[in-house]
Amino acid sequence: MSAAEVKVSKAFILQNPPLAEIDLTLGSETSTFKLVEQDIPELKEGQFLVKTAYLSNDPAQRTWIQRDADAARGYIPPVRQGDIMNAIAIGKVVDSKSSNYSVGDLVLGLFRWREHSVQDEKPAAGLPVTKINAIPGIHPSIFLGAFGTTGLTAFFGLTDILKLEKGQSIVISGAAGAVGSIAVQFAKHVIGASKVVAISGTEEKVQWLKKLGADVSLNYKHPEFKKQLDDATEGFVDAYFDNVGGEILDHMLTRVKQHGRIAACGAISVYNSLDSTHLPNYAQIITNRLILQGFIVIDYLPRYAEGIAALSSALQAGKLDVKDGETLVQAKFEDIPKTWGILFEGGNTGKLVTQIASLD
């Protein structure tokens, strides 16, 4: 089908904004998402049509659809009931009335969960659409992972928030995920951390993280996990990169040195729970003068080039393994929600990407 013949696009809208658990089945009254078809409007001057090929799957998307989300407290507008689900994606320009974007351009943007979308060359709000250049021998989905927001999150979390230096020690939770796996490698091989302790949820991931450079790799599901973590952090550590929140964050408050730093990057352990996050060890922040700082990577948008340059240099120097750091799922459009749900089951290693079309 030619671009001129594309008149309708499949899309997923938010049917039931969740308070706690999400329902990723389709077609029921309780389903979180609903599959719809929407007309594609005629292009106006300055607009172009994008065919979505690769979707980024991110834990943060769960916070975007929370039923009681307060827009004034978020970093992007929440997805409301009836809205198309938001997502960063890579696509190809298949039709254009823009002087800046040509048919065939490979582009990255907030294209949402839909097959085709009309984009403006000068969007009124949100992230601009970015042209990307394929890297020979590297899959283009790297721009959703190591060279995308997840890789940049790892970079700025380590260098700006934690200010990690050569010879210092660090614990990284969610270490087999998109952000964590890059953080492990960059901390060890680029910054030169003396000890990197990686936490994940399966024995396979434990072994994989050792291959990436973790000095100690732990499974949080092991019955002796907390003792193992205490042993691995004997003498305490300089920094903690937190991707999970919950009990592990609470325990790490007792394992970071005085005046140490904690980067609060994610809280995937509690995104689908109504239970409050209890921090019995909260007083450790006060008594040990810890610095716990949350951050969002889009705060660093003006410095993205700096981060990409550092990550590219690490890749070229052989200090960053990206080929095994991705779970790429080829799926029918109808399976987008189910594939996203793999994140909350711990079923991915590295970045989870959904491919719904080819770039041919």
Give me the architecture of the 3-142+325-355 domain, per CATH: Alpha-Beta Complex (3.90)
Asked if 60 and 268 count as a contact pair (C-beta separation under 8 A), the reply is: no
Question: The tokens of 313 are what?
Answer: 């240099």
Find the distance separating the first CA and the last CA of the chain, reported in whole Å. Answer: 13
Where are the alpha helices (H) located in the chain, listed in sequence order?
A: 60-64, 149-156, 178-185, 203-212, 225-232, 246-252, 283-287, 304-316, 336-340
What is the pLDDT, as a whole number, of residue 3?
58
Domain ranges of the chain: 3-142+325-355, 149-298
- Residue 271 pLDDT: 72
Answer whether 3-142+325-355 and 149-298 agree in fold. no
- What pLDDT, in 10s, does the model give residues 211-260? 999 999 999 999 999 999 999 999 999 999 999 999 999 999 999 999 99
What's the average model confidence in pLDDT over 262-290?
87
Going by C-alpha positions, the residue among 322, 353, 346, 323 that lies closest to residue 199 is: 346
What pTM does this model have? 0.88
d(CA 194, CA 215): 9
pLDDT at position 25:
96
Q: Tell me the CATH number of domain 149-298, given options 3.40.50.720, 3.40.50.2300, 3.10.310.10, 3.40.309.10.
A: 3.40.50.720
Q: With beta carbons less than 8 A apart as the criterion, state whether 296 and 271 touch.
A: no
Q: How far apart are the C-alpha atoms of 334 and 24, rounded to whole Å?
A: 11
Residue type, 2: S
3-state helix, strand, coil in the chain (%, to 5): 30, 25, 45
